[in-house]
């Protein structure tokens, strides 16, 4: 059987993994029936670190032992789950271990891995990801910037062209971060020509803005402050449930004009409308759109050189995103059905399947030959010089012969 390639997008809210054989289609792995594996990790006192839906469920009982967004903790070194401290690398590895196990179960093996990361991540953060991949049994993973994977999806899966001198603008609004990038196509493949982002703009920030909106209506009611600053296990579980319900209401408002949700501890129903959501997100999105315009300007990209404006990440499903971006850039964005899967799909089609998967054992350090002084190239004399020298020798010889003859 041909080797298996795996593309993994480790996200703030969800992790998505897509696998393929070199002769087959790219197929998302399913976790509990969904292509979106929640990135949250729970520290179980018996089973250790657990990722995915089981972790989210366990968090309802003991939220203190749960980290919902490990990607946001990438700089922290270690984090506290309940009473216990864990290295962030191990927490991320718990998510990737779940991915690897599912890939091996479904595909039988993993031969090459591409792991994506935000384009603005420097070497320190990338190393955390690399170490986590190694801990998860995915050593030798190739790292790829998320917008480059998205551009690969744009050309390979959607079949769109980026001609020489053109570029694609990737607008990635996920769960926890916003990134705008300009990706150009050159002889050596895709390149990020300009990138900028907002580290604290994503779906979770929209959820928080909606909670603040609800606070204006219900904040004076008995129980609201306990819901916002829970102390007992029951209150903490209620808070988690409420956060989930707000997120689901927000997502419903991308298609519906109103959404209802219960407010636990208060026992009152609440309602959110599309207008309210857009009033809240409009302010947040202005920053994202301004960042995108700046990135386009920095890359010196004129509208006719834009091959496409590509919406990526679940939060870009909000209809207001496409509307504002179209207005700002003068180009209608490309909207796709499942924007959460784009990066992992693009990663899966980026990998040369023939590459070795698991890194071969480290080769012995090459023995360096002693430094050799660069040789001066031999200069060959021009033929005119050579002729002149030959002539001079001949002349000298004939003079010598003449002198000798005279002497004799
Ligand atoms: N229909 C929708 N309307 C609004 N938001 C949505 C919709 N569908 C999903 N989202 C939001 O998208 C976010 C998750 O997107 P995604 O899975 O792309 O993020 P991520 O890759 O985990 O995060 P990041 O890229 O920031 O690391 C969540 O906040 C979710 O609520
Ligand atoms: Mg993402």
pLDDT for 387-397, tens place per residue? 555 566 666 66
Work out the average pLDDT over 19-42.
Answer: 93
pLDDT per position as a tens digit, 175-184: 988 999 999 9
pLDDT band at 355 (very low <50, low <70, confident <90, very high): very low
pLDDT at 377 over 90: no
Which is the closest atom of ligand 1 to the Cα of 255?
Answer: 1
- Of 175, 198, 201, 200, whose CA–CA distance to 36 is shortest? 175
250 lines ligand 1 (CB under 6 A): yes
pLDDT of residue 387: 56
pLDDT of residue 62: 85
Strand runs (DSSP E) across 66-186, as ranges?
A: 66-67, 78-81, 84-87, 112-117, 142-145, 167-173, 178-186
Work out the average pLDDT over 365-394.
Answer: 45
Q: Which of 28, 176, 315 to mutate to test the pocket of ligand 1 (most atoms within 8 A of CB)?
A: 315
Mean pLDDT lowest among 165-169, 261-265, 355-359: 355-359
- d(C-alpha 42, C-alpha 33), whole Å: 20
- d(C-alpha 402, C-alpha 396), whole Å: 10
pLDDT of residue 358: 37
The fourth-level CATH superfamily of domain 1-158+341-361 is ATPase, nucleotide binding domain (3.30.420.40)
pLDDT of residue 313: 96
For residue 50 the two structure tokens come to 């657990």
249 lines ligand 1 (CB under 6 A): no
pLDDT at 136 over 70: yes
pLDDT of residue 293: 96
Per domain, the residue ranges of the chain are 1-158+341-361, 161-335
- Within 10 angstroms of residue 82's Cβ, the number of other Cβ atoms is 15
pLDDT of residue 366: 36
pLDDT per position as a tens digit, 81-101: 999 999 999 999 999 999 999
203 lines ligand 1 (CB under 6 A): yes
pLDDT of residue 371: 34
pLDDT of residue 223: 93
Say if domain 161-335 classifies as CATH 3.30.499.10: no
pLDDT at 369 over 70: no
Residue nearest to ligand 1 atom 21, measured at CA: 11
Between residues 234 and 67, which one has the greater pLDDT?
67
Report CA(96)–ligand 1 centroid distance (Å): 19
- Is residue 210 within 8 A of residue 247, CB to CB? The reply is no
- Is residue 112 within 8 A of residue 355, CB to CB? The reply is yes
Q: What is the mean pLDDT of the chain?
A: 87
- Of 259, 341, 358, whose CA–CA distance to 37 is shortest? 341
Work out the average pLDDT over 187-210.
Answer: 90
pLDDT of residue 359: 37
236 lines ligand 1 (CB under 6 A): no
> What is the distance, to the nearest Å, from the Cα of residue 339 to the centroid of all Cα atoms in its chain?
13
pLDDT at 368 over 60: no
Work out the average pLDDT over 326-342.
Answer: 95
- Is residue 343 within 8 A of residue 16, CB to CB? The reply is yes
Contacts of residue 227, defined as CB under 8 A and 6 or more positions apart, other chains included, come to 235, 238, 239, 242, 263, 264, 265, 266
7 lines ligand 1 (CB under 6 A): no
């Amino acid at each position: 059987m041909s080797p298996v390639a795996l593309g993994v997008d480790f996200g703030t809210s969800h992790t998505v993994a897509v696998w393929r054989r070199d002769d087959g289609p790219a197929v998302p792995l399913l976790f509990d029936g969904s292509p979106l594996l929640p990135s949250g990790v729970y520290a179980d006192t018996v089973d250790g670190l657990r990722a995915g839906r089981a972790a989210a469920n366990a968090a309802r009982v003991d939220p203190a032992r749960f980290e919902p967004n490990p990607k946001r903790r990438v700089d922290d070194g270690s984090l506290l789950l309940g009473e216990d401290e864990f290295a962030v690398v191990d927490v991320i590895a718990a998510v990737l271990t779940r991915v690897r196990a599912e890939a091996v179960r479904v595909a039988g093996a993993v031969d090459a891995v591409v792991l994506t990361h935000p384009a603005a991540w420097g070497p320190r953060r990338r190393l955390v990801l690399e170490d986590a991949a190694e801990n998860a049994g995915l050593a030798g993973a190739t790292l790829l910037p998320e917008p480059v994977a998205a551009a690969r999806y744009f050309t390979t899966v959607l079949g769109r062209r980026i001609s020489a001198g053109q570029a694609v603008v990737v607008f990635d609004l996920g769960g926890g971060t916003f990134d705008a990038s300009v990706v150009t196509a050159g002889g050596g493949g895709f390149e990020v020509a300009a990138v900028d982002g907002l580290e604290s703009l994503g779906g979770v920030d929209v959820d928080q803005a909606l909670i603040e909106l609800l606070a204006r209506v219900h904040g004076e009611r008995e129980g609201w402050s306990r819901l916002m600053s829970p102390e007992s296990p029951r209150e903490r579980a209620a808070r988690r449930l409420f956060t989930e319900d707000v997120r689901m209401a927000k997502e419903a408002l991308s298609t519906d004009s109103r959404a209802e949700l219960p407010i636990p501890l208060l026992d009152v129903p609440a309602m959110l409308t599309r207008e309210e959501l857009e009033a809240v997100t409009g302010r947040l999105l202005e920053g994202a759109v301004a960042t995108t315009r700046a990135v386009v300007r920095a890359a010196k990209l004129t509208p006719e050189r834009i091959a496409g404006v590509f919406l990526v990440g679940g939060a870009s499903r909000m209809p207001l995103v496409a509307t504002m971006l179209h207005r700002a850039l003068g180009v209608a964005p490309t909207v796709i059905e499942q924007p959460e899967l784009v990066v992992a799909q693009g990663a899966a089609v980026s990998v040369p399947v023939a590459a070795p998967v698991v890194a071969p054992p480290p080769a012995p350090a090459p023995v360096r030959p002693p430094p050799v002084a660069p040789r001066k190239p031999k200069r060959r004399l021009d033929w005119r010089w050579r002729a002149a020298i030959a002539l001079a020798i001949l002349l000298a010889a004939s003079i010598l012969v003449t002198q000798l003859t005279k002497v004799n």
